[in-house]
Structure 1
């Protein structure tokens, strides 16, 4: 009797197990979230995306910070923004694998990629890769009415802030002097970033400063609260010489309502681009590119310059080096490039 009871119980257990199996879903159990993207197979916890920006007084810093926040909060990677000396330092951080994304001016990138200017005598950095084009930087030669400076040639004998050594601003200043048939020896130059230079101008310690940034620039606007601002035009023969030798410069106008100047001001612009470290895997860069454009409003909200210029439609403007294969894959997918 006991043997029959055991057999019956065993049969009942087998039936229950069979019914349980039939009632379960056919999908395999999902592992706990470990930071892996099921779409791309990327273990995002393996990557800390460092975004190299610029001085805290400029536009690179808030815009770069917006990229880092987007990458962290929307895309699920670890990420942070790093304040730097801007373009040339950022290029070297990318090349030294100490940053993964970096905002730079395309003229600095051209010099590194081809081995001239600030990179004279070095091997061309032909492993630099782009993720996207950003926005135009306006060359703004800033002074005050009290200085008496009205044209570029009036910088002779004046004290001029030209940017931190080998920064994008300083490279621009160097090319401006050259295009106007002048050298730094014609002025008393001080290698200050433009935030420091504007502070010196407030205290009447320098006469003019180069500011290469988007517009309006908050540092220049602050100067306007205590001084009558003058923006010296880049035009005529000087602009012609500049563009002939360095075609990445483009003629542009600073509208008079930007800084409440008396007239619109002729100048030139050079485009900013976002570099990406070549060694990052293609699937990671594809994921970053796709995710950034799907959340681009986060970047646009960082500054009105970003809002006006940074978009998928403008992503190819000013890019004079190859795109990373991951970015290129995305642009082909959405029909931006063939």
Structure 2
């Protein structure tokens, strides 16, 4: 009898081990713990683990953010990465931050938009982007997406990074410094409402920095992946609505990733957006119709899913 029980236990143990061995771990590159990308990656991982099948396990990985993630995917350090449309296009072309290093990446699907918050305290004399010259500016972390926008915007205004005093801080720290008066302006490329901006707004009234119409048009024409978004005044309890630059975030994967796996992951995410939105405010802004207008080609597995 003991041998029978022992044999059954051993058989069951091997069955569990075999099932575990069949499950392949997929890592998704996010960003720092304080940003919007990490909880987005957590939510995606939860959906994939719940709905994609027993053969797929996904875990969110802390990274330096949207600039680094395409590199990590291309190098095989992670299997998926969250980045912005402009950076995905640059990565595939080997341009911008990836100059000379084109990457073989494909899109899995769209995520929420990130908008460029350019914020000052309400009493500031800074009215437009041009007024940042000579000012102390919290520009976000060095590996974050804000710097990509700045590098494209500064030349339009005849400026360079040397014309401001940049502080490379997390968004939370940057906006705390703004509230404390240690910087004159704080920037954050983030989904909205952004926790860092909300926290600063609780300490005092804020205002968005504007851009002249001709400069905005020049920036948009030179950067096709950029869009404009309207932020209602009540989002951050400001006096006026604001039109801001932004970009659609997206998931990138290796171009040679198995099409069946990609389709399963896409279905796990986009078939359950209501569940995702109930747990993550930024997920409420995901529009899967944007899959047809991303900055790089959809992976064949993703294309098969969105064609259904």
User: Shorter-chain TM-score: what band?
Assistant: 0.7 to 0.9
Q: Which structure has greater helix proportion? A: 2
- Residue in structure 1 matching 2:289, options 310, 313, 319: 313
Which residue does 1:226 correspond to in 2?
203
Distance in 2 between residues matched to 1:169 and 1:208, nearest whole Å: 13
Q: Distance between the aligned counterparts of 1:322 and 1:187, measured in 2?
A: 37
Q: TM-score, normalised by structure 2?
A: 0.88
1:81 to 44, 57, 60: 60
Counterpart CA distance in 2 for 1:312 and 1:108 is 19
1:89-108 deviation digits (Å, cap 9, x = unpaired): 11111111111111101111
| Corresponding position: 1:329 with 2:308 | no
Where does the alignment leave 5 or more consecutive residues of structure 2 unmatched? 1-13
- Tell me, in whole angstroms, the C-alpha distance in 1 between the residues paired with 2:288 and 2:129: 36
Residue 98 (structure 2) pairs with residue 119 (structure 1): yes
- Report the CA distance between 1:146 and its aligned residue: 4.1
Structure 2 equivalent of residue 132 of structure 1: 109
Distance 1:153 1:293 in 2: 41
Q: Which residue of 1 aligns with 2:134?
A: 157
Evaluate the alpha carbon distance shift between residue 172 and residue 223 of structure 1 in structure 2; reply closer, same or farther with a 3 A threshold: same
Shift of 1:32: 5.9
2:162 to 148, 170, 185: 185
* Corresponding residue number in structure 1 for 2:124: 147
Q: How does 1:92-107 map to 2 (within 5 A)?
A: 92-107=71-86
Aligned to 1:8: none
- Name the residue aligned to 2:28: 51
Question: Does the CA-based 8 Å contact 1:133-1:316 persist in structure 2?
Answer: no
CA RMSD across the alignment: 2.1
Q: Deviations over 1:239-267 (max 9, x none)?
A: 11101111211122211111111111122
Count the aligned residue pairs: 292
The verdict on how the C-alpha distance between 1:98 and 1:324 changes in structure 2, with shifts beyond 3 A counting, is same
Residue 212 of structure 1 aligns to a residue whose secondary structure is: strand
Q: Equivalents in 1 of 2:136, 2:239: separation in Å?
A: 24
Runs of 4+ in structure 1 deviating by more than 6 angstroms, as ranges, are: none
CA deviation after TM superposition for structure 1 residue 129, in Å: 0.8
Structure 1 residue ranges without an equivalent (≥5): 1-30, 37-42
Given that 1:255 and 1:263 are in contact with CA atoms closer than 8 Å, whether structure 2 keeps it comes out as: yes
